[in-house]
Structure 1
């Protein structure tokens, strides 16, 4: 059997100096030499790390691999002190397998179709324009995360769930705490509990006095308050954090590649391909987990029942066997098959909403501020490497007035 790699620390996390958008170099080496490698997880579990596009997609689509929380081991070094996660509570179906996962997800699938999400385009255009107007009135410089990347998805998810927008700072801070790698188990559980209590009260309000929003819609069915609460927490966190980080990091990437910034400015119709390429290139949700329910032969290796496999989304999305010159940002690239939203039955439910937000936001920002540029040297932009979703903490920008 191949010796475990690395010896103790879990997933390689150090990104190459001067290349903030590139995955850790060790992932590329492993993908070339051992795309399914033995790995010791931070909690001591001896499992596997998958780094090739073919293997990552195969594992994510294989029902012999489980997403159940209580079976998983985190590969992220900062979570070494976390105790084993209990089973997912009712409603939190991303931590479940079929048939429970299927039952819950089917209740929401029709609410996140391409058609329904595209119907939101006009409202997203309004929200985006309002924040660009505010940036213009304020004048340069500004922090694009605070002025643009965070508030647009926050306002949209508030409207979809019927949550007061003035509560956004409150729930954003707790969503961030849940995703921090260095947060203690008590801090993570505490933040999640606060979010549960917030959504629980929101559910009670919707059942007493329904409004025109998604939470009111599903609250009219047969789900219990606990189920509705956990579904709401999942939608609140998922609908904000990943899209906010894609917007902030995506603008950083475009400003760091002036030719691509210029290409999107010259051709707004390039937006669809640009969004898919940024999703592939940045892979903000960089790692997933699955645990074998039975012994599985895959990639010339034998994965035993109970062994956890970390699937590296960022390594898969930079696999040269799938994407030629994968380390080059090319907004005209054909990116079909990227795994930034996962793959298989657990593929991100809100992916179409995220796509529409980015398709509107990126071109609108570039059109309004064609001279946009970083206000600090690139190496001074604080990267969000202390969380399980990659991004930037701040993005100081300026422009000509």
Structure 2
């Protein structure tokens, strides 16, 4: 272990990563650099500086990455209408490649030999952090304390703090949530506690970003979202930066009981896991994006995107953001978004996101053809007969051979 002289640690300032700082110094006899990212988790990140200094850390990085996160990671993902296993909007997954990138960049800037993270050996995050790190710096050394130490309980962690004079008294005095939570501008997740029983309903007091649909206002809220090349650029006609768009939608969505999700998902490491998520802004974005695509995308392009999306979602969930196949899919997705421009009007009501209008100068919807009234010869209905018979030809042949019998 003597070959490790300096380590860059993804540092939250909480109990686990504070222990990791001391453990790295003791176990590897190395210098520790801390990196704390503000991804819109809703808590101040600056206090991490004082905590790191109290642990003897000399090089401390604290960065506001909210705009980068939404512009370069969340928005590109939503251009694909991405959901994992039909439900999960990938709030945790999409944050990891950005953190991995900054860990590697800081390691290069500081001359560090290794990076470290606080992800456990049972979860997906260890995979996401490390696949990203190896893709960006193939020879990097990765240290994952949870796979090395025996401090596998909160009690053991607290005892370690007492033995090594680690200043985390705030953790003792602070009421600990029974849930393991992760938050950023896209979502907040909950695992553990009563959620480990898939039959147990989540407690109402667990939810932090949204009211229940039952408690949402009785009056619907209307909003207009303006899209350019597949991204939301304005709300109700007011131009906004990407991270401001998502912040606004989180607030208004949460007020209307939108974005709660309770699922059992299949982790990449092999186990099933029950988790609850609040993604109010993302839920609104997904519905609106599909609505604007419904009038601006060609049928076959839209259908092909839907076929590619599950693979794209799986790549992000499993940690392959930096892979050549994800980049290839992203290029195809982004190419499809050139005409995805216009405005979508939504009605938000008691947990529901209802599309009530959509318009675009790039719309492929032609009322003169789609009308049930006289179309002035725009569409000859007699042509449908030959179309149907040609498409039925293989079915008729198979039926004559008895191939279609039950």
Higher RCO (Cα < 8 Å, 6 or more apart)? 1
Rg larger for:
2
Determine which structure has the larger strand proportion and give its number. Answer: 2
* Common topology (TM > 0.5): no
Q: Using structure 1 for the length normalisation, give the TM-score.
A: 0.27
